[in-house]
Structure 1
């Protein structure tokens, strides 16, 4: 016969299991795939091969895990009903962009994981409403630049992970508002230490290293083997142009078509200039619009000359035949 103590223990175990199942069942209503712990206001949608965010997430959720899925985009209103969130995990998805305002209602958020995605850029002001954020992870993306002032409102931020991206420099003043920062990870980025755009970051990192900020000495230059914080104005003297900045071709460097047509019998055109005249370049660099237009006009001019010459020959032949 079962003793009273053993019976009580068995009753407690069965009750706990039933409550746990009941809590998870509440989250799976309407065909949901996520599991819930209502006692902790936590919803786990990890590793469910999701391509869209479930619509039945309880509005009082505080912890939401959406990592290890196949999310390639987020609706702008995706989290607008989840105002109690303190932790949002979106790492290891396929996010390429973030819509403006997507996090605006998450005013209680403490930690945001966006690492291991495919983000190439961030919309301006995307974190402006996350004033309670203490931990932001953007590492292992494809970020090529950061917007001016993107961290200005994050005065409580303690950890910022930016390692393993494609950053070459940062806007001046971008870290100035991060007064609570204790850890900054910047390694595995191709920091360009030859251009004077790196000077702000070098001086800021040097100052913070002296103050004991962790991780700042791991940011290394793409070339030369130096740490960014060691770079001086003499090292970074060049006034470089950003790789994604387009510059117009100076009009004065192009030869007018009329000069070419009128004097072509007197001018010896080198092979490379002739290629440029026809709009040809190496396969990796497509012709610019002015070069394409010049190529088309040259071709049409040649065809017109041939047509006029043919017409003149036919006219003379016809005239001689009548005579």
Structure 2
């Protein structure tokens, strides 16, 4: 009777190995482009010359890194199957816009990095579903304005980076909901201290000084005067235009269908960027190879299947003799 028992144990072990191999194959359906750590539910697709996000990222992924690629657009549903993400980094890409609702399914997200892209604006409500977010990095972009209430739902946010953008002002009440904020980077923006609406930011900095680090570094574009030091006389002009602190009008935004369908390669113009990454831009998008598992994964899967089949036959043999 020991034969069938041993065979059954062997079958269980091999089945477990097969499942693990299958998971690894799933993780590498992009042809091995990304590095995967199934034990930590992490996928690293950094520096892979990607112009589109791989479609076969496992649904149980918690940490996804897409840094140093050439992503210029995102599908509105790019992350909708990744609701378990807690960490997402899209830093150092070519993103010019974010489609509405792109982060809506990431309700568990804790950290979001969008540093070093080409974002000039943000869609209204783009972060509204990220109620567990504790860190948001938007520095080194080209942001010229912030939508009204863009941070209102981020009540758990502790760190916010907005430095090195093109912000002249922020909407009234922009930071009022960020009661847990302890660090805010505002420096290296052309703050317009001649306009009255800068007084909200001045008052907020004065109130939070000592409780939120680095906010004193915000300086006026003219005169190198600290924002917290400006007076009502300095900010005497009423120079707010209709769309200054709101999102881009819907009519001027690229339709979601175009963003989704028109995913194509955009050459990286910065020579320094290419030199830093150490590669040249590919001539085409990865296509069919991304849908194939690696040779090693394939051989391992076939070996697991053969061993599993042998174990099953072994069990049937002893059961038949019994």
Shorter-chain-normalised TM-score: which range? Answer: 0.5 to 0.7
TM-score of the pair, normalised by structure 2: 0.67
Deviations 1:86-138 (A, max 9, x none): 00000000000000000000000000000100000000000000000000000
- Give the conservation status (yes or no) of the 8 Å contact 1:186–1:218: yes
> Could you say which structure has the larger radius of gyration?
1
Deviation at 1:23, TM superposition (A): 7.1
Cα separation, partners in 2 of 1:199 and 1:30, compared to 1, 3 Å: closer
Match of 2:41 in 1: 41
**Structure 1 partner of 2:76:** 76
Structure 1 position 231, deviation (Å): 1.4
Kindly provide the CA deviation profile for residues 249-288 of structure 1, in whole angstroms up to 9, marking residues without a partner as x.
xxxxxxxxxxxxxxxxxxxxxxxxxxxxxxxxxxxxxxxx
- State the Cα distance separating 1:184 from its structure 2 match: 0.2
Q: Distance in 2 between matches of 1:81 and 1:22?
A: 19
Structure 1 segment 138-287 matched on structure 2, within 5 A: 138-209=138-209, 211-242=210-241
- 1:31 positional shift: 2.4
Residue 30 (structure 1) shift: 5.3
Deviation at 1:212, TM superposition (A): 2.2
1:155 and 1:202 map into 2 onto residues whose CA distance is 21
Corresponding residue SS for 1:39: helix
Is 1:57 matched up with 2:57? yes
> Contact (CA 8 Å) 2:165, 2:188: kept in 1 or not?
yes
In structure 1, stretches of 5+ residues that fail to align are 1-19, 246-323
Question: Structure 2 matches for 1:94-105, cutoff 5 A?
Answer: 94-105=94-105
Secondary structure, counterpart of 1:29 in structure 2 = coil
Give the number of equivalent residue pairs.
226
Q: How far did 1:22 drift?
A: 8.7
Distance change >3 Å, CA 232–CA 52, structure 1 → 2: same
Asked if 2 retains the 8 angstrom alpha-carbon contact of 1:120 and 1:143, the reply is yes
Q: Is the 8 A contact 1:36 1:42 kept in 2?
A: yes
Question: Distance between the aligned counterparts of 2:174 and 2:71, measured in 1?
Answer: 29
Q: What is the CA-CA distance between 1:242 and the residue it aligns to?
A: 3.9
Whole-Å separation in 2 of the counterparts to 1:25 and 1:89 = 23
What TM-score does the superposition give when structure 1 sets the normalisation length?
0.67
Aligned mates of 2:240, 2:207 — CA distance in 1: 27
Residues 77 and 22 of structure 1: CA distance in aligned 2, closer, same or farther (over 3 Å): closer
How far apart are residue 224 of structure 1 and its match? 1.7
Which secondary structure state, in structure 2, belongs to the residue aligned with residue 43 of structure 1? strand
Deviation at 1:62, TM superposition (A): 0.1
Q: 1:234 to 1:111 in 2, by over 3 A?
A: same
Residue 32 of structure 1 contacts residue 54 of structure 1 at CA under 8 Å; is this kept in 2?
no
Inter-partner Cα distance in structure 2 for 1:155 and 1:30: 37
Cα deviations by residue, 1:166-189 (Å, 9 ceiling, x for unpaired): 000000001000000000000000
Q: Is the 8 A contact 2:197 2:240 kept in 1?
A: no
| Aligned CA distance change for structure 1 residues 190 and 243 (closer, same or farther; 3 Å) | farther
Report the RMSD for the aligned CA atoms in angstroms. Answer: 2.0
SS at match of 2:197: helix
Deviations 1:27-83 (A, max 9, x none): 213525111000000000000000000011000000000110000000000000000
Distance in 2 of aligned mates of 1:80 and 1:26: 18
